[in-house]
Chains A and B, each alone.
Chain A
Amino acid sequence: MARTALTFTLNDAEAAVFVDPGANLIDVLRRGVGDLSPKQGCAQGSCGACTVLIDGVPHLACLTLAETVEGRRVETSGGLADGPDLHPLQKAFMEGFAAQCGFCTAGMLMAARALLDRVPNPSREEVIEAISGNLCRCTGYEPIVDAILAAAQEMQGNRRMMR
């Protein structure tokens, strides 16, 4: 079958890759472009490990046809850090011991990132709602919820300082 040329923005950089018809975004990100930050867990949309943002909205990359991101903006957890400076979410996950095996972390971070972009000062319930599509085996979720709330506070503080 003919392969299709696909161009999109990946974490603020141009990405261009040839894809097979029907290829999943997760395969194209990991194997085609080499961004190994999104994880493939269940490959059927029930674990959330592959969560990426497309035009700022969380999507399950394992259920997304790669060709649908043509010309769009894809963000993965690999693009969260600014050089050596971790994103406040990454810092909060680290300081709050919100990761153990780490397999869910990339998806959790992106689900949280989408929430904080939309709701900068979320309630505990809103955080729980935002990550309810992401499975975690290790943490019992509580440290993750706490870390996202801590990151929200940190980011609010940063915004106040910049004003």
Chain B
Amino acid sequence: MAIHKGRGFAAINYPIGMNLGGDPAQALVHSTPDGKFMVALSAIDLGQGMKSVTRQIAAETIGVPVEDVYVDTADSDTGPHDMGSFASRGTHRVGNAVIRAAAEARKQLLEAAAEELEVNASDLDTDGRGNIHVKGAPGRSITVMETSQAAQFKQGRTLAGRGIFLIPLSGTDPDTGEMTPVSCFAHAALVIDLEVDDETGEVEVTQINSAYEVGRALNPRLVEQQLIGGAWMGVSHALYETTEPYYPDRSHGPVDFNHYVMPGPGQIVPHHIAVLERPAEDAPFGGKGPGEMCANPVLPAVANAVYNAVGVRCDTLPITPEKILRGLRANGGARPQGRR
């Protein structure tokens, strides 16, 4: 009886969003009389940081401080239409819609400022700190707040923008079935180190090393947060979580958190991450977003590492001690595959 070390590798090409029905996202941007901008969305921030990222994107596009932008995720009754927060599509789809809406709002902002300064809008620029000035003559300027108040109370115009992002519909070739379901891929590679106890069948993941290519990391701390938490969830799916442990037999399923097993704070796995930035052409400021692939490659990497450690190939999840012990018995004991 022994503890066997194993190492497993997995790589992933992950589609950002989906192309069924064009996967549309809409955004509406409007100014308020205090010189702030409101972004209305129907995609919801579930904690992955979509509000922060769309706020950054709007601020950068309009040319105002990020503090002067609010994101309201409203609801599907009152907000502009969106397919939702899933399929790793938030940053890319919603972000692209926000860029378009924000660009229109910026155009109107500069037109209103041009009227106040009696210059051409094309001669104006923003400084990103709440001011609009004549290019080459920073002294001739007006604040964003003064501009939005002039638009509201004097010029009688709105500073607003509408944006939609729609992927070109991809038809299916009737002969080959070929289509282009996805326009943007993110990539990752991940190495899992773990130990398998061939007496109990228990697995302990000891280290994760990963490299993620997510386009530009628009908010690096949020990206890191997603990758750490997502990998934890991947380990949890690989080794613990299931609602139907004997699927398709539905019996013996968990009924609460005491039976639905998940790793706790005592099972934190050191995770070393390299984020590779390769800005995507059709992505907002190049950012594809990490999304679901934070968790996905962990599962095959764990399965490969278990095989590497004891020679048991588990092809159903989660990889429980029971499955490993059954595999060990069928093989007549552990068959470590060694390091290659």
Contact = CB atoms under 8 A, between A and B. Distances in A.
A and B together in one complex: yes
Given A42-B256, A42-B257, A135-B262, A143 B233 contact: no
Nearest to B268: A142
Nearest to B221: A97
Contact of A44 (B47, B256, B265, B266): B256
Contact of B265 (A47, A97, A132, A138): A132
B257 A101 contact: no
Is chain A's interface secondary structure helix, strand, loop, or mixed overall? loop
A101 B257 CA distance: 18
Contacts of B230: 140
Interface residues of A, number: 24
A126 to B, nearest CB: 11
- Top 5 A-B pairs, shortest CB-CB distance: A140-B232, A100-B47, A101-B47, A141-B265, A46-B257
A156 interface: no
B330 interface: no
Given A47-B257, A100-B47, A145-B268, A139 B262 contact: no
B47 A102 contact: yes
B43 to A, nearest CB: 15
A39 B265 CA distance: 20
A153 B311 CA distance: 46
B222 interface: yes
Interface of A: 42, 44, 46-47, 97, 99-102, 127-128, 131-132, 135-145
Contacts of B231: 140
Chain B, interface size category, equals 20 to 34
B266 A101 contact: no
B265 A145 contact: yes
18 contacts: A42-B256, A42-B257, A46-B256, A46-B258, A97-B224, A99-B47, A101-B46, A128-B266, A128-B268, A131-B265, A132-B266, A136-B265, A140-B228, A140-B229, A142-B232, A142-B271, A143-B228, A145-B268
A69 to B, nearest CB: 25
Interface string B233-256: 100000000000000000000001
Interface string B21-63: 0000000000000000000000000111100000000000000
Given A100-B225, A101-B47, A141 B256 contact: no
B222 A97 contact: yes
Nearest to A135: B257
B264 interface: yes
A128 B265 contact: yes
